[in-house]
Amino acid sequence: MDQMSLYFQATTTRVWARRGQTPTVRVATQRDHVHFYGALDVCSGQESALTLPKQSGEMTCHFLDHLQSISLGRALLILWDRAKWHKGAVVRDYLSQHPNIQTLHFPPGSPQLNPQEHVWELTRDAISHNHTRKDFPALVRAFHHHLETTCFKFEWVEKYVPAILLAT
């Protein structure tokens, strides 16, 4: 699980173009943005995402409610970074009331271990880098659509879980 902010301002990255035909990337003067909360099911590659007004303990609890509603009563293991709102009183209280949710924090400074970071990177590459959309809601819809319709296979389980645990 992780959060990110999507800005209307295009981010530029490398792009192929014919010699002498430099692509134009629009620069928006406004700094419109929205926050995404996302969680990747590392076994299926299915993404669950919501756009929320801010990144906070309250919004984290709201997203955890969403994950529970789509998990059909299954126990959840949430792997996340050490954002301050993940460790705040609101979230601690919420987790104490939901024993079917277990959490594990990634080591400090290790975003490469978080599969959700890879989802954000792939979606930014596909949708928001070098974008030419003229309105922010269209960009948000395209970003969300990509998250919902793409299978994000990240070999996290095979890469990081000891083989002896997978044999059972």
pLDDT of residue 64: 97
List of residues 6+ apart from 81 with CB closer than 8 A: 2, 105, 106, 111, 114
Largest CA distance in the chain: 61
What is the arithmetic mean of pLDDT over 105-131? Answer: 88
Structural contact between residues 92 and 13, judged by C-beta atoms closer than 8 angstroms: no
Residues of the chain with pLDDT > 70, as a percent, come to 82
**Top-confidence residue, 13 or 99:** 99
What is the arithmetic mean of pLDDT over 123-131? Answer: 82
Could you report the per-residue pLDDT of 43-101, keeping only the tens digit for each?
A: 889 999 999 999 999 999 999 999 999 998 889 999 999 999 999 999 999 999 999 99
Out of 3.30.420.10, 3.40.50.150, 1.10.240.10, 3.40.50.10090, select the CATH number for domain 2-15+22-166: 3.30.420.10
Give the domain ranges of the chain: 2-15+22-166
Burial class (CB in 10 A: 0-12, 13-18, 19+), 37: buried
